Structure 1
Amino acid sequence: MLNNQFIDEFSQQLSQLLKGAPQRQDIEKAVHAASQSVFSKLNLVSREEFDAQAAVLQRSRQKLNELEQQLAELNEKIK
């Protein structure tokens, strides 16, 4: 799940854009709430989780290649 750091950073950037705007705080709160709602529905993962899963996938592919090579060698011995 996406952490609130991204949403907070997004809100801060928006705050900078809205400096001096009338009803700035109301707009910021509304955008923050809407953003949090939208992002939570997107089933996003953190970069750390993505990197961890990519590393697992890479190890799995490497192991699969090793097993395929072993199987090919065993098939050659049988023939």
Structure 2
Amino acid sequence: MMDRQDIDQLALRLASLVPPGLAQAHEDLRANFSDVLAQGLRRLDLVTREEFDVQTLLLARTRARVEALERRVADLEALAASRGG
């Protein structure tokens, strides 16, 4: 997720696009852009990079466990089939 510094940088870039005749409003626009961007991002259902990385790790562990269980089931099915069951 974007941190406050990223939001401020983006707001500054947006404010720099304001025509020179509105230079006195530059700082007000930058602050408003920053607030609007921050509010918009808060409304989105976003997770932090740390949360994403934790979930990725959990998914990888779960996938490995499922694959191991699938192999175990296949081995047990093969054993049962070889015993005539």
Deviations along 1:44-75, one digit per CA (max 9) or x if unpaired, are: 11112111111110111011000000000011
Q: TM-score, normalised by structure 1?
A: 0.77
**Percent of pairs identical after alignment?**
31
SS in 2 for 1:23: helix
Does residue 59 of structure 2 align to residue 49 of structure 1?
A: no
Indicate the residue corresponding to 2:7 in structure 1. Answer: 7
Amino acid at match of 1:75: E
Matched residue pairs, number?
A: 79
| CA root-mean-square deviation | 2.3
1:1-79 matched pairs, under 5 angstroms: 3-14=3-14, 21-79=23-81
Q: Which has the larger radius of gyration?
A: 2
Gaps in structure 2 of 5+ consecutive residues: none
